[in-house]
Structure formats: C-alpha cells, structure tokens
Structure 1
Amino acid sequence: MGPKIKELPAQLPKNFDRPDEPWYHHLTFDLIWKVFNYTLFHPWVCWIIVLCLRAHVTPYQNIEMKIAIAWAFLMTTRAVGGIISDKIAYGNPRDVDLSEEVIVITGGVEGLGNLIAEVYGMRNANVCVLDTKKVQEDEAEEKGVLYYECDVGDAKQVETVAAKIVEDLGAPTILINNAGIAHAKSILDSTPEEVEQTFRTNTLSHFNTLRTFVPYMLRESRGTIVTVSSVLGHLGAANLSAYAASKAANLALHSSLRAELFQHPNGTAIKTILVTPGQMSTKMFAGVKTPSNFLAPVVPTVDVASQVIKLIEKGEGGEIALPLYSRYIGILGLMPAGLQQLVRRWCGIDRAIEKAGLVQKNTASEKR
C-alpha cells in the first residue's frame, strides 16, 4: 500500500448560487479579440490561408492571393515587432524553478492574492502571505501556505517578518505587492485617518516591501516583482479619490522601480510585472455595474491570477491589463477635454459607486 493521498477540502460551484444569465452575457469584445488573435491575427493561420489558396492553384496575380499574402506579412511583422519590443523593454526571461523560489504575497488572505497563494500552495511552492487578517493554523496547513500577521504599511513590521521568512523559507525571490483597501467616500467626507490608511496600505507598503526584499533579490541575481495597480490609477473616479490616487502613485512607483533596476548591475536579472485590471469580481467593488458588459466586462479574478502566474513562471516581465479597454485607456488622455468628459458621462464612472449604494457618508460633516 502506498502513502495515503492527502484530501483537500473542495466545494464545487452551484448554479443556483449565481443569477441566470443569457448566453450573450458571456459574449464580450475581449472574447472576440481573443478568438481573432488565435485565428485571423495569428501569423501561422495567415500563412496557412496562403498555402490553401496555392493548393487550389490560385495564381499569385489574383486579388485574393495578393490580399492574403499582404495580410500574412502584416500579421508576421506585428508579431515579430511585439517580440522585439518585449525584448527591449524587459530583456531575456530568467529561469524559474518553483522549488528554489520563495514567494511573498501581500494582502493574500482574500481576493486576487488569496487565489495566487492557493495555486502555489497546491503546487508545494514556498509561498507566504503578509496580511493583517488572521488565518487558522489548520486552514494554512491545508492550503500549504505560511501566513504572517503583518501590517505592510508599517516598515518595522515588514522588516521583522522578513527576517522570519528568511529563517523559515530562505531569501525571497518573488514579491507580489497586492495589498489594497478602499474607502468609498467623497473627498469632503474622507477623514485624514482614512486617507492615511489607504496610502499606507496601497502605496507606502510597496516602498516598505521593496526596500526590504529587493536587496535579497539583488544578492541572488534573480527575482520577480509584481505591482498590482488599477485602471482607476489612470482615470480617477468620484467617491474613490484616495484609492485612485494611491493606485496612480503605484504606476509612477513601478516606472521608477524599473528605471532604478536597469541602472543596477544585477537589476536586469529582476523582472517586473505591472497589473492594471479593470473591475474584478472581488468583494471590494461587489455590486458595482459596468456601463457595458460587452466593452467593459467584470474580470473574473482567476483570469488575472492566471496571467500573473503565467508571466512569473515564464520568467518574463510585462504588463497585464484586463479587460482589453484597460490596455488602451491612455488614449483617453489624448482626446480633447470635452470629448473626455462626454466619455466619462457615457460610461458612468463617476456615478458607479453611488448607484451601487457603496458611498459612505461622514455623519460629522452631515451635521455641519
């Protein structure tokens, strides 16, 4: 008899837990774009079309053959250009062996961080989570994850926990800065304590973890740093001023981090990944409706997690922006101010939190 297989608790999703949705709810622009990228936009498929035309003895002078060849060359140039661009921006990929990596995830008890931690835990990777929320020892053992109670906004706590991680697992080589909170309040209703807490958790925590863990990566001459920001860092939104501002700061911090790593002798061996998702299916913005499920769908957390894990394990740097509009949101800033305002009114970004009933009022300000 071999060793007893470890049983993991699992609960299958129930259809009646989710509202019935029509089939077209799942038809989004992102899905169509993905299909095209595997078909008409894929160089291999494009050249297959050319070969099929030749198999039917289509002369090169025919218009359909000229169009097929021109399209195949265009898609090949696009693909090669993308590869060259990534090489220039992020360098060659590094070798990643999970058995030799130590993964640190901030804010990994819930949401995106929790999903990534559980995936690596199931794969017996060396993964630890830094969070203020407590996790029972039995639950942690079942998930295969080490949990350290830590306020990542406090530099001293991060340094103390870092020493424990090095002692327990070894030098950290993968850092996922995921911790985040949001107070759905207007600027006038926000208290100084809430604004400070938001920046401590969402932004200052990045400085604390980077100052603490990057030196280990530089000594190891390998590493991956993931910065989780938000599309609101580009857009801003009413009643989410502190959250949006903190996420915008993360965008600038990530760019500065890349620049400084590039200047360090061992910095090029450390890969950086920027994550700027739109609305994800997490508790933070539950109930908020997007203006268009076709153009701006709610992103399943598992889709973002799979993209992060994919880049980490390929040893590559890059940017992850889901859904598709968040990848090109910078174009909005190039539009005339009036057109920008019309777009904001159409998409309802500044009314979304209020319509969802998530706006918190400061009772003290109401009395005034």
Structure 2
Amino acid sequence: MAAIVGGLVSHVYNLVLSPFVTGPLLAAVTYRPNESQNLLSTYAGGFPGLGALDLKLAITALRLLFGVGLLRFINQNLNVRAANAWRTGPSKGWNWSEEIAVVTGGASGIGKDLARNLAGRGTKVVVLDIQDMPKELHDNPLISHYHCDLMSKDSIGAAAAAVRKDVGHPTILVNNAGVSQAKPILDQSEPYLRAVFGVNNIAHWLCVQQFMPHMIEKNKGHIVTVASIGSFVSLSSGVAYAATKAAALAFHEGLGVELKHIYRADNVLTTVVHPFFVDTPLIAEISNGLTDSGLTLLASNVVADAISERIWSKRGGQVTVPNSRALLSGVRAWPGWLQEVLRDIIGSGTRKAGEGRTWTIPEW
C-alpha cells in the first residue's frame, strides 16, 4: 500500500510541475478568462469555497508552477546532456541481440533480476559470482555463469579471459556485486573491512581494467556502477558500506571524465545507480528492524528495472531509486545542522533495527 501511495504522489508531483500541463492552463486562464471562469465555477462549484475562486489567484499559482516546472525541465535536460557528452539524442550503434552484458553478483538479488531483464531483450548475459547460478536462470540459453571471487585479481582475470574466449567482448558491464554487515565501527573486523572494500570498490577497478579497453577501442559501451543512497548519507552501523558507496560514486565520476578526456571515447556511457534500502540477502539481518522503524524496502526487481531502462535508453547519468529520494543527492550542500538532523533520524532508525543484537567492544 505504501508503495502504491508513494507512486501516486510521485505521479501527481510530476504532473503538477510539468510545464506541458501548467503552460496550456496558464494560457487558457490568461487569454480566455471568461470561459475559464465558467469552467472553474462549473467543476469546482460542488466544493464549498472553490466555485468563487478568483482568476487572479489561479493565474498567480499557475505562473509559479509553470516557472518552477520549466526550470526543472531545463535542469533535467541539461543533466542528461552533460552526462552524455552533450549529445542531443541517445547513443547510436546498439543492437540488443548482439550485445554482451557482464553482471557481477548476478546470482541473487538485483543482479539476478537484471540478468533476466537483459536476456529478455535478447542480450547475452554473463554472471560473475562466487555463488552458484540460481535454478530459475539455469534454463536460459542467453545467460551463462562464471564462478569468480571478486576479491581476487587472479580470479577476475581468469573469468574475464574465459568470457572473451567463450562468449566475446562485453559491451555492457554492471558492477553490481556488494557485501555489507550491520555492525558499528568498533565491531567491524579487519577481514570484513578488506572484503567490503575489495568487493564494493576494488573489484570495480579490476573489472573495468579487463573489459573497458575493448569498449574504448570500439568507442562503444556502457559501464554501470551500483552505488547507494549511502553515497550521500553515512549509515549508522554501516559506515564501511557507506564509505565504499561514496567511493563508488567518485569512481563513476572519475571514470566518465577519463573516458572523455584521456581515452577520447565519449560514446562509452557511464551510469551510477543509488537505490534506497532494498529487500535482498544483503540486509536480511536487519530488514525486519528497518520495516518496524517505518521504512519501506524496495523489491530488487524495482531497482533492476530502473537499471535496465537506463541501459535500454542508450544514455548514461545518475539514477536514484525511487526517484522521490533524488533530493538526498544534494545533502552535502545542506546546512550542517540540517545534515546532522538527517543523520540523527537515520541513526535512530538503524539503532532500532539492531535492537536485540549484541555488540562487542574490542580490547587493545
């Protein structure tokens, strides 16, 4: 129910701020005032106080909405163009039945749903994962699985060489795999820290080093980095995870700059994705606590659908899931006190999610 209400609110919000809706309405009440007043009286007359609304008030409100909506529309279009080497249209040369996509961590969660989506368009999909292939993907001839330890440079190198030999050179790379534990800083061991940074960050470099050279050579490709809302707001009892996601965002930004200015391959697209809390095995140990705290968890297929749509749009950029959380990307520009209020709210929620668990403080 919460998801339905949230979707409805989002649609209404987008409708109210669409200059293609408010513009014609503003023109109507400005240049056809008598007809507009009659319509307003007819349709609003059944609501006490609305039937006698002054057109001046309506015009003022519509001017405000039109102005804000127009600025929003221009800003969104500039964002899209800036993220795509200022092209006016989508990248060219894509044929989904001829593409090859590598999805790390594709044996479960978001990656599994994404693999299914891409294969549904006829794309060959290669799953790199230390986990076995799930049964529901076994029978799909377009999906292959290569056992790969993303913490190991040698394992990634061997898997990449096998992919190039058996399937071909990938044109899409989705760095999706991630690990996390809900523990406070003093309870996070060194092996875990090395694992979370290894899988969530270093593997991005290693996979790009394996697959991007051919994309640069052909000046065609799409590299997707799955980050998190934690890229912008550090998470209590998940500081290591949030730190890796902030690093993932920096990786995405730097990658795009290098592709344009160092490798001169501006048709290799880059996208970064920031999901809110997703109901996957990654947060299974705290999912009940999060929902009890009032948070609505995203289904993994919702995030996979958003990634798929971005790939199929043939455009790069930044994607926040759900889009209603996009304002969080500007947290770092908020006043310090307001940032602290937000961190306190999140910290209180994650504390409640971890209630009943035992934390240890190491002795040195």
- Calculate the TM-score normalised by the size of structure 2: 0.82
Alignment match, 1:125: 123
Alpha-carbon distance in structure 1 between the residues aligned to 2:230 and 2:243: 8
- 1:328 to 1:80, Cα distance in 2 relative to 1, 3 A: closer
The aligned length equals 338
Correspondence 1:213-292 to 2 at 5 A:
213-285=211-283, 286-289=287-290
Aligned partner of residue 185 in structure 2, secondary structure: coil
Alignment match, 2:45: none
Q: Is 1:79–2:80 an aligned residue pair?
A: no
CA offsets per residue over residues 121-162 of structure 1, 9 Å max, x none?
233311111000012788423374101000122122212111
Correspondence 1:34-73 to 2 at 5 A:
34-37=11-14, 39-50=15-26, 52-53=28-29, 57=35, 63=56, 64-65=58-59, 68=62, 71-72=65-66
- 1:360 to 1:198, Cα distance in 2 relative to 1, 3 A: farther
Alignment match, 2:97: 99
Q: Is 1:114–2:112 an aligned residue pair?
A: yes
- Match of 1:135, as an amino acid? M
Alpha-carbon distance in structure 2 between the residues aligned to 1:182 and 1:206: 16
Shift in Å at residue 58 of structure 1? 5.1
- 1:153 to 1:267, Cα distance in 2 relative to 1, 3 A: farther
Correspondence 1:344-363 to 2 at 5 A:
344-345=343-344, 347-349=345-347, 351-352=349-350, 355-357=353-355, 361=359
- 1:194 to 1:141, Cα distance in 2 relative to 1, 3 A: same
Q: Is 1:208–2:206 an aligned residue pair?
A: yes
- Calculate the TM-score normalised by the size of structure 1: 0.81
- 1:334 to 1:129, Cα distance in 2 relative to 1, 3 A: same
Shift in Å at residue 113 of structure 1? 0.7
Q: Say if 1:271 and 1:317, in contact at 8 Å, map to a contact too.
A: yes
CA offsets per residue over residues 216-257 of structure 1, 9 Å max, x none?
110121011111111123222232222122112111111111
Alpha-carbon distance in structure 2 between the residues aligned to 1:313 and 1:290: 32
Alignment match, 1:13: none
Shift in Å at residue 99 of structure 1? 1.4
Q: Say if 2:10 and 2:324, in contact at 8 Å, map to a contact too.
A: no
Q: Say if 1:353 and 1:359, in contact at 8 Å, map to a contact too.
A: no
Shift in Å at residue 57 of structure 1? 4.2
Which one is further off, 93-102 or 206-215?
A: 93-102
Alpha-carbon distance in structure 2 between the residues aligned to 1:47 and 1:151: 55
CA offsets per residue over residues 11-58 of structure 1, 9 Å max, x none?
xxxxxxxxxxxx567423x64133221x22222222342465456645
Q: Say if 1:154 and 1:208, in contact at 8 Å, map to a contact too.
A: no
Correspondence for 1:89 among 73, 83, 89: 83
Shift in Å at residue 69 of structure 1? 5.7
Q: Say if 2:237 and 2:350, in contact at 8 Å, map to a contact too.
A: no
Alpha-carbon distance in structure 2 between the residues aligned to 1:186 and 1:233: 18
- Match of 2:175, as an amino acid? N
- 1:76 to 1:291, Cα distance in 2 relative to 1, 3 A: farther
Aligned partner of residue 298 in structure 1, secondary structure: coil
Correspondence for 1:188 among 166, 186, 189: 186
- Match of 1:287, as an amino acid? N
Shift in Å at residue 163 of structure 1? 1.6
Alpha-carbon distance in structure 2 between the residues aligned to 1:306 and 1:24: 19
- Match of 1:229, as an amino acid? A
Unpaired runs of 5+ residues, structure 2, are: 38-54
Aligned partner of residue 184 in structure 1, secondary structure: coil
Alpha-carbon distance in structure 2 between the residues aligned to 1:310 and 1:31: 20
Q: Say if 1:128 and 1:147, in contact at 8 Å, map to a contact too.
A: yes
Counting aligned pairs with the same residue, the percent is 25
Alignment match, 1:152: 150
Q: Say if 2:331 and 2:339, in contact at 8 Å, map to a contact too.
A: yes
Q: Say if 2:233 and 2:343, in contact at 8 Å, map to a contact too.
A: no
Alignment match, 2:166: 168
Alpha-carbon distance in structure 2 between the residues aligned to 1:339 and 1:50: 36
- Match of 1:173, as an amino acid? T
Q: Say if 1:184 and 1:360, in contact at 8 Å, map to a contact too.
A: no
Q: Say if 2:97 and 2:121, in contact at 8 Å, map to a contact too.
A: no
Aligned partner of residue 287 in structure 1, secondary structure: helix
Question: What's the C-alpha RMSD, in Å, of the aligned pairs?
Answer: 3.0
